[in-house]
Amino acid sequence: MKKTIFLSLCSLALLIFSQIEVFACGCPRGRNEDITMVVTQHFSNASIVFSGKVIAEEFVPVIKKDASGKGIKAENLVYKFIVDSWWKGKSKDEIILNTSHFRYPDLGYGQVSSCDSSFEVGKKYLVYAVGSKGKFIAHSCSGTTQIENAEKNIQELQKFKAVKKKSFLR
């Protein structure tokens, strides 16, 4: 009995003292099955479109501003890609994608959004991302997907004249 009460109190303390804010995300309802239209829409909405392999996942230090404008130390989860094909954007061999996942070590909590596409180191993806000046993010509704699920999308994108890079990643 004492053990159960102790474990319950520990669980409650963990919930109270280690907050993680989670923001829900929803994609527009209805799925268009016309692949040409879907790819064209994703392409039009994106700032950059590429395929590549995730080679690293890490938290990098950033300064976030609170409601009063005061700077707070934070860490942003980013993914580093080696790019093998570009369809839109400035052709580079590597690119870093930011996320909406932040942690605040000094404050003891984090912030996560379900709107981000999720990536796994070592896997290849077709990425549609938005942003500018080297700060890009891929949202879950953008069309970003693992490369093995993107064959029809890539066939459509070939119409946009892909620039092939690093064929060894195929």
Q: Find the largest Cα–Cα distance for the chain.
A: 68
Distance CA 79, CA 83 (A): 12
Short-list 116, 80, 158, 45, CA closest to 150: 158
The CATH number given to 19-169 is 2.40.50.120
CB-based contact 80:54 (threshold 8 Å): yes
Short-list 81, 80, 97, CA closest to 134: 97
Q: Is 11 left (phi over 0), alpha (psi -120 to 50) or beta?
A: alpha
Amino acid identity for residue 97 in this structure: L
Query: So what's the pLDDT on residue 26?
Result: 55
Strand-pairing partners, residue 61, are 75
What are the 10-residue block averages of pLDDT along the chain, 170 residues in total?
Answer: 47 39 50 81 94 96 87 93 93 92 84 79 97 90 92 89 48
H or E segment and range at residue 119:
none
Torsion of CA 42, 50, 52, 143, to 10 degrees: 0
Distance CA 55, CA 157 (A): 24
Short-list 119, 122, 164, CA closest to 145: 119
Query: So what's the pLDDT on residue 115?
Result: 75
Query: So what's the pLDDT on residue 19?
Result: 43
Strand, coil or helix: 161: coil
Strand, coil or helix: 55: strand
pTM of the model: 0.75
Query: So what's the pLDDT on residue 27?
Result: 63
